[in-house]
Amino acid sequence: YPERLEKQIAFLENNQDFILLGTSFNIVNSSGKVIKEVLFNTLAEGLYYDLIFQNMFAHSSVVFRLREVNSVGGYSESLKYAQDYDLWSKLSRIGKIWVLPDILTLWCDDPLNISNKKRKEQDLVSKGIFTNSLRLLNVEENVVRDSYLLHILHIGCLLNAPLTCISLAFISSCELIISLRDCMGYLPIGS
């Protein structure tokens, strides 16, 4: 995707208030075969809200403004295996972020990559980032806990369970997310 940087730099030059920019991407297996397209076509509010619950950026798709990255302390060395998610979360609190809908990079889903080899460690760190994001929004502690449990149930059902479990988890997650959204108002916080 030789046009990726050109498109992203043009976007940032024309939109000075944006500090982080990703792209849609293809997930490929270790043989290079596309196994899934990850397309973003969302409202800005949805993007900020989704980032509370999971890192949806492919790191290889991201460009950012260095001044703002430095202002939030950059990548945290103490959050091994999820430094990028932490950084994107911090940046989303101080400025505008966006994902171009164009597929402009690949993410290789290989059993030997860090995201797969260190999944448990990454999930634990991500839980801390997730709960911290909700706490910074002054969400009550029991809602933080329940939100995380519903998120895990929903993701687990999507990956491993029959349709009835997916449906129940999805409905529960949606109800909680709608109530959280209504309590918080729409994000971004920094705008």
pLDDT in tens, 80-130: 889 999 999 999 999 999 999 999 999 998 888 878 788 888 888 888 888
Share of the chain above pLDDT 90, in %: 43
Say if residues 21 and 8 touch (Cβ distance below 8 Å).
Answer: yes
List the chain domain ranges.
4-184
Say if residues 69 and 91 touch (Cβ distance below 8 Å).
Answer: yes
Quote the CA–CA distance of 150 and 168 in Å, as a whole number: 10
pLDDT in tens, 129-151: 888 887 887 777 666 666 666 66
What are the Cα distances from residue 5, in Å, to 60, 88, 117, 131, 139? 11, 19, 29, 33, 37
pTM listed for this prediction: 0.75
pLDDT in tens, 24-69: 999 999 899 999 898 876 666 678 877 887 888 999 999 999 999 9
Phi then psi for residue 94, to 5 deg, are -115, -10
Within 8 A by CB and 6+ apart from 6, the residues are none
The per-residue pLDDT for 161 is: 43
Quote the CA–CA distance of 185 and 191 in Å, as a whole number: 12
Which range has the top average pLDDT, 4-13, 77-86, 152-161? 4-13
Closest Cα partner for 91 from 139, 47, 37, 146?
47
- Identify the H or E element spanning 96: strand 96-108
Phi-psi sector, 73: left (phi>0), alpha (psi -120 to 50), beta: left
